[in-house]
Chain A
Amino acid sequence: MAAYIIRRLLGMIPTLFVITVIVFLLMHAMPGNAFEALVFNPKIKNAAEVYKRLVAENGLNQSLPVQYIHWINNLIHGNLGISSSLNMPVSEAIGTYLPNTLILAITAEIIILVISLPIGLYQANKVNGKLDVSTSFVAIFLYSIPGFVFALVLIFLFSFLEKWLPSSGTVTPGIATSGSLGDRLTHLILPALSLALPSMAYYTRLTRSNTLSVIVADFVRTARAKGLRRPRVMFRHVLRNAIIPIVTQFGFDIGGLFGGAVLIEQIFTWPGMGELSFNATINRDYPLILGTTLLFAVMVLIGNLIADILLAISDPRVRYD
């Protein structure tokens, strides 16, 4: 297993190389650069000169291949460059913003699993009953709506109509309890819920259909023929098998959840990776764009690796060597 993981990690390098080349080209295809706006600033006297100096300092006057090689060379030495918009090393910026996104994504994942699995399992047990049909309807309804719409609806309901929960930031500034656990949690609820709702619907459906396909399996009949009680049949025999595709899907979705957070973080002005990469793009902050994209790509690849590892853990028939 260890050898497999190392091989997979090494295998990521070519993929990441291709991704960074594509991002590098697309990024430079965008009109303008980080400093062009200075030229039009009447407050700066020798704007043209300052612009020229900054472009030269940041190596933007060199050819693209040279710039790319320069970036890769720095990357190999563990240097992601300096963000021009934030005036700090890219690694430091990511270090500041990443934990917020992790908190948001992990909270969303927990909400998804804790709510979807029991609902899906319940639906499969009462298939075509009233509650199954009604919750299935709600699930499909929720699944068809993008997360940012939920974000707006949730803000309208719980921050505007009822002033129960804050709609922006991670803490309430300027109050005594600012930054306390309770304060942070109230800020977390709405964005995490917006991120979780569409996936919750999806995982509920996935759990329901997997459970239904396992429940008719021969070995479930065997389990019942052994006189095992219903909860044991359901959890040890049915769920244990039905969960295999779910944990695999879960791994795949880890990367996707980071991408999905971009919009949600914008709406809730959540200082996470989404906001960081969005602002980097708006500001043509090339090192920051490359740094955040690289991180997103690594997350997706690691998510896929986690999916494969979870599959091997949950299904003894799958072995890597």
Chain B
Amino acid sequence: MSEPLLKVSNLKTYFISKYRTVKAVDGVDFEVQKGKVLGIVGESGSGKSMTSLSIMGLIPPPYGKIVEGEIRFEGVDLSKLSEKKMNDVRGNRISMIFQEPMSALNPVLKIGEQIDEVLIRHKRLSKSEARRKSIQLLQSVGFPRAEQIVNEYPHQLSGGMRQRAMIAMAMACEPSILIADEPTTALDVTIQAQVLDLMRDLKEHTGTAIVLITHDLGVVADMADDMIVMYGGQVVESGTADDIFNTPLHPYTNALMESIPVIDEERERLTAIPGTVPSAANFPQGCRFAERCAIAQASCHEKMPELRELQPGHLVRCDLA
């Protein structure tokens, strides 16, 4: 395999206050390959959003901190970069789109202004050049009347249009990586499919790699080349999407697959995973999934399992797998 575009090793992002330490991301490793889609799957609170914000250097201050690990991108460790240097990477080499496009867009600035400023900042375009490019970008994400949209405010657009505008903004500088944090969660199902199609098209045209964060396994199955499954701030399974969907090894991944409805199968009830994700301020000593795991044994509660490579490229953090 060629050199990965982005290599995250042993990333630990903690929120440290006087009273407690919240281990939001606790030793995460993964790689993003050039032009490929990496899906990061997990429940709320599993640390997937914090992982992506760590890459962007946008961990909310003052308590959040990357305490250990490396984020290697184009030969440099992003976690060690100065704010000034990081600003040249953000929105330019790596960009990000968010879950809720309404609140992620500035309500008092026109769509055009919000796209222009990325181009002016990173590409040093003049105002009129930036505007011309913004209109092109909006056309490329499927706005038929882009000349008018640039002069409209976010509240004048529908949810799907707003997310398209966000994507246009994120793709403005043709980044090598686009991090999409639950990009379709806030959208109607039909719009979801359109937005995913759009992301796939853009990836094919520009060669931008995508880190797709979602709790929706259907989206991952549809889009991802590789995937990691996160639980309690750790990676519990990683591999190619095909491998994981065909032979899920971790009991948590298995349980997630069980909880998806399958249309041609008649089932009375969907299987739900009992319990909730343990609090990141107070993780158990052993396997973090043990308490909810159907096959857990006494030893699971005592010793934290290591991530093992069971098949080539397919890793799992479970001693029983």
Q: Which residue numbers of A lie inside 8 Å of B, CB to CB?
A: 216-219, 221-230, 232, 236-237, 240-241, 244, 314-317
Contacts and interface: CB of A to CB of B under 8 A. Distances in A.
A225 B169 CA distance: 11
A226 B108 contact: no
Given A222-B105, A227-B118, A317 B153 contact: yes
12 contacts: A219-B105, A221-B104, A222-B98, A226-B90, A227-B122, A232-B117, A232-B121, A236-B109, A237-B109, A240-B106, A316-B155, A317-B108
A226 B121 CA distance: 9
Chain A to chain B: the 4 pairs with minimum beta-carbon distance, closest first? A227-B91, A226-B91, A227-B90, A218-B103
Given A226-B121, A227-B121, A217 B108 contact: no
B106 A228 contact: no
A219 B106 contact: yes
B103 A225 contact: no
B87 A222 contact: no
A237 B91 CA distance: 16
A216 B58 CA distance: 12
Contacts of A236: 109, 117
Interface string B73-114: 000000000010001111110011010100111111100000
Interface of B: 56, 58, 60, 83, 87-92, 95-96, 98, 100, 103-109, 117-118, 121-122, 153, 155, 166, 169
Residue from A222, A229, A241, A317 whose CB has the most chain B CB atoms within 10 Å: A222
A128 to B, nearest CB: 9
B76 to A, nearest CB: 15
Contacts, number: 76
A221 B98 contact: yes
A228 B87 CA distance: 7
A316 B58 contact: no
A232 to B, nearest CB: 7
A224 B58 contact: yes
A226 B155 CA distance: 20
Contacts of A224: 58, 90
A225 B109 contact: no
A9 B100 CA distance: 41
Contact of B95 (A216, A218, A225, A237): A225
Contact of B107 (A219, A225, A230): A219
A317 B106 CA distance: 11
A221 B58 contact: yes
A228 B121 contact: yes
Contacts of B169: 226
A314 B108 contact: yes
Contacts of A225: 56, 58, 90-91, 95-96
Nearest to A241: B108
Nearest to B84: A229
A218 B60 CA distance: 12
B72 to A, nearest CB: 19
Contacts of B155: 316-317
Contacts of B90: 224-227
Contacts of B104: 218-219, 221-222
A240 B100 contact: no
A226 B117 contact: yes
Given A221-B58, A221-B98, A227 B88 contact: yes
Given A218-B104, A232-B117, A227 B109 contact: no
A81 B215 CA distance: 76
A150 to B, nearest CB: 36
B108 A229 contact: no
A216 B62 CA distance: 12
Given A217-B103, A219-B103, A221-B58, A226 B109 contact: no
Nearest to B86: A227
Contacts of A317: 107-108, 153, 155
